[in-house]
Structure 1
Amino acid sequence: MPLQDVSVKINVASPAPKIGLGRPVIFVQKTGAAEYKEYSTLAALQVDYATGTAVEAKAATIFKQDNRPDKVAVATYATDIKTSMALFYGREWHFALVANDLAVDQLAAATFISDKDFKFLVVQVRTEADRKALKAKKRTKIYDHTIADEHLDAAAVGDLGSQTVGSITWKFKSLKGVTARYLNETEINAIDADFAVAYIVKGGRGQLSEGWLADGSYIDDIHGQDWIKADMENEISYTLGNAPKIPYDARGIGAIEAAMSTTLQRGFKNGIIATLEGGLPDYTVTTLSRDEVDIQDRALRVYPGGSFSYGKSGAIHEARVTGVVNI
C-alpha cells in the first residue's frame, strides 16, 4: 500500500505561506547521529548553537529579514550530507542551506537535490571555481558573495522564501544584513555566465542581480510549480478524506475536478498563473469519464484520469524602450 494516496506530477512544456514552502533548514556537520530540530526564535536556537557559530550566523541573518519564516530548522550530519538530506527530506522544509559553505558539501547537496522534483538548495560561494562546480545543477541557487561574515544565501531565503508564492520575483530585492558590492560589467557578466546571483549596487541601491537557478530556470517559476503540486495534493486529499465516500462515477470525478480547479484558481490569485486577454486565468483542467478509465484501475479504485495545464505568469526582468526626439 502506498504511503501517499494522492500524487501530482508536473511536466514543464517548454524548451528548457504554504506551510513548509518557505521554511529553511541549515545542514551542519556534527559528531554523532543525525538530528533534526526546528526553532521559532533565534534565542531558542542559540541555546544549541552559540553566537558566532556558522549555524547561528545564518539563522540570525534569516530572522533579521522583514519577511522571515515561522521556523528555522537545523539538521546535522557526521560525514555525509546527502545521507542526512535523504533522512530528513520528508520534513517540512523547502530551502536547504549549508552552514559552513564547504564546497565539497555544497556539491554533494546539489547533486542530491538535482535528482528531486521538489525543494531547493541555496548556497553561497566565494570563488569562480566553486560557482562553476555547481553550474547547471537543478533546483540549486548560487549566490556569489565575497564579504566575510555575511550570508547572502540566508538573507535571500529568509526574506523571499516565505512570501506568497507567485507574488514576487527574486530579482531586484533589497535585503538586510548584507553589503551590496560595486561590480563592473566584466565581473557581473562572469557571474551571470554561471547562472549565479550577486548582491550589487544598481540604480543607487543594493539589489539582487538576478532570479535564476543554476540551470538557468527561474526560481519563482519552479517555486510556483512546487506550490501547485503541494496545494493540489492537499486539496484532493481533503476531498477524499472528508466525505463518507467519493463514488467512482461522474459525481466523484467531478469532486476531484473541482479540487484541481480550486488549487489552480488560488494559484492564479497568488500570481503563479498568467492572465489571458479579458482577465481570465490561463489554465485548463481535463478529466476522463468513468468509462474512459481502464477497468483494472477501476477495480483497484485508482483514478488516473485527471490532468491540467497552466501558463506561468513569469516576470519582466528587463525593459527596452525606444524614444524619438522630434525637431
Structure 2
Amino acid sequence: MADTKVGTAKVGASAVGAVSAGNVTSSDIKVQLSLVKAVGKSGFGIPLILAGGQDQEIPYTECLDLDEVRAVCGVNSVIYTAAALMLAQSTERFKIAVRAVTGKSAEEIPNLLGKDWRQLVVPTEGADGESTVEELSDVVEATDRMYFATVRDLNTVPEAAYSGIQDGQPAQIARDRTVGFYYPQKGVYATAALVGKIAQKQPGTYTCKNLILDNLQPLELDDTMVQSVQDKGCLTFVTKAGDNVTTEGKTIGGEYIDIVDGKDYIIYRIQHDSQKILNQSDKVPYNDNGIAQLEAACVGVMKDCYGDGNLIIATGDDGKPAYTVQYGKLSQTSAAERANRHYSLGRFSFSLLGAIHSADVNGSIII
C-alpha cells in the first residue's frame, strides 16, 4: 500500500496552526502536512537523554562522545548509562544532548522545545515520583518531536489514541510520536540503543524492523509473546536467523516509525529552505517571480528526497518521481493576504516509498 502525503506551505507572520519540525520558534515558514492512505497498493535532529527526579540539575548540554557525557554527568548517572548504550551503536561520533532535572521530566519538555533535539529518551520514566510513560507521551504528542519509551510492563503502555483537537474538532488522535520498546530488564534502557542506531541515518534510508543493536541482550520470547507485545503497539528485541534484531518498527499509534520520520524531514526541509530564501534576499517580491522562488525551494526538496540514495519519495506508475508541487499565481491571492504580506497558496503532495518487512515464498519439491 502506498502512502500519499498532501501538504501546504505558508509564508508570513500571520500563518498559524501548522505542524512544523525542528527549532522553529523564529521561522516565518509554516508547513502543514496530512497523511492520506491509498487503498489497494503497496539524521536530522539529535537525541536527547532527559532524566527527572535527580539530586541536582544538569543544564541542556550537547555532547559528541562518551567522554564529554562523563564530564557533564559523571559515570554513575542513569544518563551516562543510557548514553553509553546509545553511542555504542556507531563507530562514528554523533551528537547527543543531555539534561537532568530535580522535578518531573514531563514538566521540563516544554522548556526544551527551542533546542534542536528530536528523539527523546527518558531513563527515569516510571520511577517513584517521576513521570509515567503516558504522561511523557501526552506532552510529546503535542509537539513535533518523538518519544522512545522503554516499557518494563505492557500494562503501562498508554492507549493507541488520545483525546485531542484535530482540525478544530474534538478527535481521537493516534500516538504516532511515541515508540514503545518492551524490555523488562531493569537498568537497561533499550530505546537508547534503538535511537543510537537510527539517529545518525538519513530519513528514508532505514526502517526500525530487523535492526541489529549492539551491547543489548535479546529476549527469549515465543511467537505468542512477541504478538502480545506488538498488539500493544510496541516492538521488542529477539533473535532471528542468528542475529539479534528488533521486531516490527511501529509507533504505539500504529504508524511506521520511518513514515513519521520521512514526513517530518520533508516538513523541516521545506521550512528550512524556504526560510533561507527570505534570509538571503533583500526582498522577495510579492509577484509571480517571488512566488516562483518559494516554489523552487519546495521542488528542490522533493528532488533531494527522490533517488540516488534518498529513499523517501516513490516512483509513480509512469516511471517518474511521485510528487507534485503547485504554487498559486499572484492573480489567485487575496487583497488581504497581499496587504499582510502573507502567502498561503503553496501545495505539494508525494507518495512515500515503502519497505519490505516480510515475505511469503512458495515452492515445490520435484521427486
TM-score exceeds 0.5: yes
Q: How many residues align?
A: 322
CA 1:272 to 1:69, structure 2 compared with 1: closer, same or farther past 3 Å?
farther
- Residue 238 of structure 1 and its aligned partner are, at CA, apart by 1.1
Match for residue 258 of structure 1 among 296, 306, 331 = 296
Equivalent of 1:308 in 321, 327, 348: 348
The aligned residue for residue 296 of structure 1 is 336
Q: Distance in 2 between matches of 1:204 and 1:173?
A: 13
Query: Does residue 1:220 correspond to 2:220, yes or no?
Result: no
Deviations 1:36-92 (A, max 9, x none): 111122112112322232111000111111266622211233323233100001201
1:242 is displaced (CA, Å) by 1.5
C-alpha distance in 1, partners of 2:113/2:100? 13
From 215, 224, 239, the equivalent of 1:177 is 215
Partner deviation per Cα, 1:149-172 (whole Å, 9 max, x = no partner): 432100010011220111011101
Partner of 1:144: 182
CA distance in 2, matches of 1:74, 1:147: 23
Correspondence for 2:140: 113
Q: Distance in 2 between matches of 1:283 and 1:150?
A: 42
Report which stretch shifted further, 54-63 or 244-253. Answer: 244-253
How far off its partner does 1:321 sit? 2.3
After superposition, the Cα gap between the structure-2 partners of 1:134 and 1:157, relative to the gap in structure 1 and judged at 3 Å, is farther
1:24 aligns with 2:47: yes
In the alignment, the residues of structure 2 paired with residue 303 and residue 221 of structure 1 have an alpha-carbon distance, to the nearest angstrom, of 28
Which of residues 158, 162, 185 in structure 2 aligns to 1:133? 158
CA distance in 2, matches of 1:299, 1:101: 49
Q: Pick from 70, 74, 86: which aligns with 2:110?
A: 86
Give the number of the structure whose residues are more often helix, by fraction: 1
Aligned to 1:43: 67
Structure-1 separation of matches of 2:77 and 2:237: 23
CA distance 1:69–1:249, change in 2 (3 Å): farther
Q: How much identity, in percent, do the aligned residues show?
A: 24
The equivalent position to 1:57 in structure 2, one of 81, 89, 102, is 81
1:197 maps to a residue whose letter is L
User: Which residue in 2 is equivalent to 1:209?
Assistant: 247
CA distance in 2, matches of 1:31, 1:180: 32
Return the TM-score normalized by structure 1: 0.92
In structure 2, distance between residues paired with 1:267 and 1:90: 26
Q: Could you say which residue in structure 2 is the equivalent of 1:4?
A: 27
5+ unaligned residues in a row in structure 1: which ranges?
none
Higher relative CO (Cα under 8 Å, sequence separation at least 6) belongs to 2
Aligned partners of 1:15, 1:127: CA distance in 2, in Å? 35
Would the aligned equivalents of 2:133 and 2:158 in 1 still touch at CA under 8 Å? no
Verify the 8 A CA contact 2:58 2:72 in the aligned structure 1: no
Task: Report the AA paired with residue 209 of structure 1.
Answer: T
SS of 1:311's partner is strand
Task: Note if contact 2:85-2:215 (Cα within 8 Å) is conserved in structure 1.
Answer: yes
Match of 1:94, SS state, is: strand
Separation in structure 1 between the aligned mates of residue 33 and residue 279 of structure 2, nearest angstrom = 23
Deviation at 1:202, TM superposition (A): 1.2
Counterpart of 1:5, as a letter, is: D
Partner of residue 272 from structure 1, selected from 291, 307, 312: 312
Match runs of 1:234-245 below 5 Å: 234-245=272-283
- Name the CA distance, whole Å, in 2 between partners of 1:81 and 1:288: 44
Structure with bigger strand share is: 2
Aligned Cα root-mean-square deviation (Å): 2.1
Is the contact made by 2:27 and 2:275 (CA closer than 8 Å) also made in structure 1? no
TM-score (norm 2): 0.82
Note the C-alpha offset of 1:127. Answer: 1.2
- Please, which of 317, 321, 324 is the counterpart of residue 361 of structure 2? 321
Query: How far off is 1:250 after superposition?
Result: 1.4
How far apart in 1 are the matches of 2:315 and 2:288?
30
1:259 to 1:46, Cα distance in 2 relative to 1, 3 A: same
Deviations 1:111-142 (A, max 9, x none): 101122x1100011111212x33644330000
State the Cα distance separating 1:214 from its structure 2 match.
0.4
Q: Distance in 1 between matches of 2:55 and 2:317?
A: 58
2:236 to 180, 192, 198: 198
Q: Structure 1 residues 8, 67: CA separation in 2 closer, same or farther (over 3 Å shift)?
A: farther
